[in-house]
């Protein structure tokens, strides 16, 4: 993984989104940076997922997903220099998983929290404080924006996670986790290493996202596309 050492340079790897009078920057990693509040927003980290699966099911997946997610988060913090972090729910695969974190992973996480304003918004997987430093919130309002794990019908200025949206471009390979947003709300992609995705074409999204709307596909270089992407326009599908 690329490990940038330079200071945040927003011309390099982000897409600026005007949202409720604020400017939010969607990063290729799946994090969202709110420069005015110096806040990095990530959703659905699912720390401790492999431990929970071993406990509940007996299969022993590679126990490195927490480390992988933390390394990515650290890289984003270095790149943006963010002084605050907001985790938008399902940060832990369950509350026992928070206690079951490997010692090294836990120390790594605590080192990231220290010296930063850290907000844990609760999710359906982690409906309570996880015993780590930082503030716990059921949901959180900052300025014109409201942060909650699961989107609510009719909300305005809302940022949420939960659904793990993903989307592909016709003819450009597989799907990638993505941001979805219209003028009133934004749904963030899942940031955790062991997370799947729900196709942005699923009816769950149609019920929440109005029009006009956009998606930002994560990846080496984030891509902005209209949502839903219209089919059958232009020169047609080229064979790659």
Partner 1 sequence: MGVMSALPPIFEDWFSKRGWSVHPHQQEMLDRSDAAALMLIAPTGGGKTLAGFLPTLAELAEGDHKGLHTLYVSPLKALATDIRRNLTIPVEEMGLPIRIEDRTGDTKQTAKKRQRADPPHVLLTTPESLALMISYEDAPRIFAGLQRVVVDEIHALMEGKRGDQLMLSLGRLESLAPGLRRVGLSATVDDPEALAAQLARHPDPCEIIEADPGPDPDISMLRTEAPPPWAGAGGGYAVREVLAQVKQHKTTLIFHNTRAQAEIFFHKLWLANEDDLPIGIHHGSLSRQVRENVEAAMVAGELRAIVCTGSLDLGIDWGDVDLVIQIGAPKNIKRLVQRIGRANHHYNAPSKALLVPANRFEVVECMAALEAVRDHELDGSPRGPGPLDVLCQHIMITACAGPFDEDALFSEVKSVGPYAGISRAQFDDCLDFVATGGYALRAYDKWKRLLRRPDGLWQLRDPRSSLRIRMNIGTIQDADMLKVRMRGGGGKPLGEVEEGFASSLTPGDTFLIGGQVVRYETLREMTVEVTRRADREPRIATYAGAKMPTSAQLAHRILDDLQRPDWPELPPHTRDWLHLQREVSKMPERGRILVETFEHDGRHHACFHTFAGRHAQQTLGLLLTRRMETLGLHPLGFVGTDYATLIWGLDELTDPAPLFEARELREGLEGWLTSNAVMKRTFRGVASIAGLIEKNLPQVRKTGRQATFSSDILYDTLAKYDPEHLILRVTREEAMRGLVDFARVEEMLERTKGRVDLVRATRPTPLAAAMLLERDRVPVAGAGRERLAEEEAARLLKESGLAAFGAPNVAGV
Contacting residues toward partner 1, per CB under 8 A:
1, 10-12, 14-18, 25, 50-51, 54-55, 57-65, 67-68, 100, 102, 162-164, 169-173, 190, 193-199, 202, 212, 214, 217, 220-221, 223-226, 229-230, 233-234, 238-240
Q: How far is the CB of 125 from partner 1 (least distance, A)?
A: 10
Q: Are 16 and 24 in contact (CB under 8 A)?
A: yes
Q: Which is nearer to partner 1, 77 or 229 (CB)?
A: 229
Q: How many CB atoms lie within 10 A of CB 198?
A: 14
Query: Phi and psi at residue 213, in whole multiples of 5°?
Result: -145, 160
Q: How far is the CB of 216 from partner 1 (least distance, A)?
A: 8
CA dist., res. 104 & res. 67, Å (int): 9
Q: How far is the CB of 46 from partner 1 (least distance, A)?
A: 9
Q: Are 89 and 122 in contact (CB under 8 A)?
A: yes
Q: Which is nearer to partner 1, 118 or 201 (CB)?
A: 201
Q: Which two tokens stand for residue 26?
A: 């969607």
Q: Which is nearer to partner 1, 155 or 224 (CB)?
A: 224
Q: How far is the CB of 182 from partner 1 (least distance, A)?
A: 11
Q: Are 224 and 211 in contact (CB under 8 A)?
A: no
CA dist., res. 90 & res. 148, Å (int): 11
Q: Which two tokens stand for residue 105?
A: 């992973």
Q: How far is the CB of 235 from partner 1 (least distance, A)?
A: 8
Please name the residues in contact with 213: beta carbons below 8 A apart, sequence gap of 6 or more: 180, 181, 182, 226, 227, 228
Q: Which is nearer to partner 1, 16 or 114 (CB)?
A: 16
Q: Which is nearer to partner 1, 68 or 117 (CB)?
A: 68
3-state secondary structure of 216: strand
Q: How far is the CB of 100 from partner 1 (least distance, A)?
A: 8
């Amino acid at each position: 993984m690329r490990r940038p050492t330079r200071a945040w340079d927003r011309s390099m790897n982000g897409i600026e989104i005007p949202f409720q009078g604020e400017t939010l920057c969607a990063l290729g990693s799946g994090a969202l940076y709110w420069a005015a509040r110096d806040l990095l927003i990530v959703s659905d980290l699912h720390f401790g997922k492999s431990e929970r699966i071993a406990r509940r099911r007996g299969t022993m997946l590679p126990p490195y997903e927490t480390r992988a997610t933390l390394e990515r988060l650290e890289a984003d913090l270095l790149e943006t220099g963010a002084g605050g972090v907001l985790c938008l729910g399902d940060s832990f695969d369950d509350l026992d998983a928070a206690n079951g974190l490997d010692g090294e992973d836990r120390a790594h996480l605590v080192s990231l929290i220290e010296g930063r304003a850290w907000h844990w918004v609760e999710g359906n997987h982690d409906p309570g404080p996880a015993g780590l430093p930082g503030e716990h919130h059921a949901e959180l309002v900052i300025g014109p924006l409201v942060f909650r794990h699961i989107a609510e019908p009719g909300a305005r200025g809302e940022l949420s996670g939960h659904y793990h949206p993903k989307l592909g471009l016709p003819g450009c390979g597989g799907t990638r986790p993505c941001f979805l947003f219209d003028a009133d709300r934004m749904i963030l992609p899942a940031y955790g290493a062991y997370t799947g995705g729900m196709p942005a074409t699923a009816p769950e999204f149609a019920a929440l996202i109005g029009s006009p709307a956009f998606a930002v596909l994560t990846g080496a270089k984030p891509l902005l596309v209209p949502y839903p992407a219209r089919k059958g326009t232009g020169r047609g599908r080229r064979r790659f």
